[in-house]
Amino acid sequence: MDVVKVRGAFAFNPEKLKKISLFDTDKFFCDIYCFEPGQTQKVHSHEGSDKVYYVLEGRGKVTVGSEVRELAADEITLAPSGEDHGVMNDSGERLVMLVFMAPKP
């Protein structure tokens, strides 16, 4: 059994969003996304795959479809298959999210 200490896996890149893979199978992935202030994940979509964003630390604006909402620690949202989605850390603090996607594109 693989066990990962999630908070021990945080890492940041001053140039762009840092993605850390926790689990990756043929059907699913679970990553940590670490955003410095000002960093983004551009709005995009995946046909046939659902994505879940769960905020561990900080706050940031999440786009799903035509809606943009600020999420903070312990909030979670779903980007259903085919819906545009992305993240912007416009807060002034670091943002850390746990991200799940299935099935993998």
Structural domains in the chain?
6-98 (2.60.120.10)
Query: Which SS3 state, helix, strand or coil, does residue 65 take?
Result: coil
Q: Does residue 77 carry a pLDDT above 90?
A: yes
> Which residue bears the tokens 């979670």?
76
26-55 confidence digits (pLDDT tens)? 999 999 999 999 999 999 999 999 999 999
d(Cα 99, Cα 46) in Å, to the nearest integer? 14
User: What value, to the nearest 5°, has the Cα angle with vertex 2 and ends 23 and 103?
Assistant: 30
User: Are residues 18 and 31 in contact, defined by beta-carbon separation less than 8 angstroms?
Assistant: no
Provide the pLDDT for residue 105.
84
Provide the pLDDT for residue 62.
98
